[in-house]
Amino acid sequence: MFAAVSVTAWMLIDNRWNLHDNPIASRIALGYFFIMSAGPYWMLYDSWHHERKLTRKMWLFFVPGGFLWYYFEVYRPRLEARKNRAEHNPL
């Protein structure tokens, strides 16, 4: 994780790599930083929306990439359980 952040930060900060000289790599780096900054806010919103109280999971907001754990361990099983209930109860 640290290596990916370092490489993308280098791509944006280094003067030779800007949006005009290398547009594809710069846009990939910008997209990476957007996902890494939007993910924790989504996780915090979803966690608060479903539990309505502060839990230990919400501290993952401060961990880089912590929302990925939340997605695979909390969000996806919840979606699969909802999907299984809908298959068994068609009404």
Cβ-Cβ contacts under 8 Å for 69 (sequence gap 6 or more) = 60
Torsions phi, psi for 90 (to 5 deg): -70, -15
Indicate the pTM of the whole model. 0.60
Query: Are 57 and 74 spatial neighbours (Cβ–Cβ below 8 Å)?
Result: yes
Per residue in 16-47, pLDDT (tens digit) is: 656 677 777 777 777 877 877 888 888 888 88
Match 């989504």 to its residue by tokens: 42
How much helix, strand and coil, in percent to the nearest 5, is found in the chain? 80, 0, 20
